[in-house]
Amino acid sequence: MTRAVRALDLLGAACLAVMVVLVAGNVLLRYVFNSGITVSEELARWLFVWLTFLGAIAALADEAHMGSDMLLDRLGPRGRRALQLAATLLMLATAVLLLQGAWQQTRINWDVQAPVSGASVGWFYASGVVFGLGAMACLLRRLLRLLRGLPVGLPPGDVMLRDS
């Protein structure tokens, strides 16, 4: 596990911890003290989106994302590499499109204030920008490995049950 993935994991854990405290604290305040923290729902929702995108980058960097290898296992080395190359290029194109859309939404919503916290809604959409950049970096690294003839992903027929 690289330092960058470790940092993403720690950041994700921090997001999750804050979400738990916010939601559990708000439930406790509502049912025990008949009050609540109004900003907690909005902040927990934003943190969940950030957690999802940061986790997706970490999974992509570790090549731990879900996939089907039924066809890949039936191909020879050249066919496997060609299919991996095509899949990587398609994922890279998708990441570019997502980055473009997230960037546009971030710019459009930068001056829009969230209803409860008053924070810029652009921060919400910036999670997509961070994911797009992170995914592109991971996929470009994967593409370079493929072009150099280095192995990517799991060996044929292998199942990811390891903890790195």
Check: CB of residue 58 under 8 Å from CB of residue 8.
Answer: yes
Asked whether residue 88 is domain-assigned, the answer is: yes
Query: How many domains are there within the chain?
Result: 1
Residue 4 has pLDDT above 90, yes or no: no
Give Cβ neighbours of residue 48 (< 8 Å, ≥ 6 apart). Answer: 15, 19
* pLDDT for position 164: 46
Asked whether residue 157 is domain-assigned, the answer is: no
117 vs 109: CA distance, rounded Å: 15
Asked whether residue 152 is domain-assigned, the answer is: no
Give this prediction's pTM.
Answer: 0.84
* pLDDT for position 143: 94
Domain that holds residue 52: 3-147
Asked whether residue 114 is domain-assigned, the answer is: yes
* pLDDT for position 36: 83
How many Å separate Cα 135 from the centre of its chain? 8
Give Cβ neighbours of residue 6 (< 8 Å, ≥ 6 apart). Answer: none
pLDDT in tens, 13-69: 999 999 999 999 999 988 888 888 888 989 999 999 999 999 999 999 988 877 777
